[in-house]
């Protein structure tokens, strides 16, 4: 008899719009854009680990670092994922909770880095759907919330940067 055997591993690439829910360092952020690549490892029937790297960029018309700056956040994520099938449909709902180890760079209009917080801890929560497209491929639209708090010091002035944002992502997942 044929068996429907779930693959244990996967790799997902996602991208989409990011919207700030805070004003890091007093900067009013414009909507941004980002992407993330993560590996999945199923450890139980519906639960697994995920880990990867992400990048997000926002513009700010005015900030403590000047006008016309961009705020880039990059770094790593590791966490737990639960995937719940929806009845007998091929659709599943996923929930994720993870830890971030990211840093924030502020760049001037010329693209020069003027401030860098260095890597620090944060957290991520995400939810979405996993819809199979074919053999071992899925599309994964979802929403995530990232929160990172760190500080930067320049010319003996320290600025606290609390960077919180929502990301609306669509991804493609390959299981192997």
Give the span between the Cα atoms of 71 and 134, in whole angstroms: 38
What are residue 25's phi and psi, to 5 degrees?
60, 25
Q: Model-level pTM?
A: 0.87
CB 131 within 8 A of CB 139: yes
Give the span between the Cα atoms of 82 and 46, in whole angstroms: 6
Predicted local confidence at residue 78, as pLDDT: 98
Predicted local confidence at residue 4, as pLDDT: 55
Q: 170, exposed or middle or buried, with CB in 10 Å at 0-12, 13-18, 19+?
A: middle
pLDDT in tens, the chain (176 residues): 344 567 999 999 999 999 999 877 777 889 999 999 999 999 999 999 999 999 999 988 766 656 678 889 999 999 999 999 999 999 999 999 999 999 988 888 888 888 888 899 999 999 999 999 988 999 999 999 999 988 777 677 777 778 899 999 999 999 99
Predicted local confidence at residue 124, as pLDDT: 98
Q: 85-109 as b/e, with b when 16 or more CB fall inside 10 Å?
A: eeeeeeebebebebebebbbbbbee
For the chain, the structural domain boundaries read 13-140
Predicted local confidence at residue 1, as pLDDT: 37
């Amino acid at each position: 008899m044929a068996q429907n055997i779930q693959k244990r591993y996967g790799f997902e690439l996602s991208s989409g719009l990011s919207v700030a829910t805070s004003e890091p360092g007093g900067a009013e952020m414009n909507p941004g854009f980002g992407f993330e690549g993560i590996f999945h490892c199923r450890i139980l029937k519906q639960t697994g680990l995920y880990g990867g790297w992400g990048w997000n960029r926002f513009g700010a018309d005015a900030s403590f670092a000047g006008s016309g700056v961009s705020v880039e956040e990059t770094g790593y994520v590791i966490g737990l994922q639960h995937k719940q099938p929806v009845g007998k449909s091929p659709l599943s709902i996923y929930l994720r909770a993870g830890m971030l180890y990211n840093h924030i760079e502020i760049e001037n209009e010329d693209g020069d880095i003027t401030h860098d917080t260095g890597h620090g801890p944060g957290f991520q929560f995400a939810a979405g759907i996993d819809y199979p497209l074919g053999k071992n491929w899925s599309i994964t639209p979802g929403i995530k919330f990232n929160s990172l708090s760190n500080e930067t010091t320049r010319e003996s002035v320290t600025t606290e940067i609390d960077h919180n944002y929502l990301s609306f992502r669509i991804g493609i997942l390959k299981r192997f």
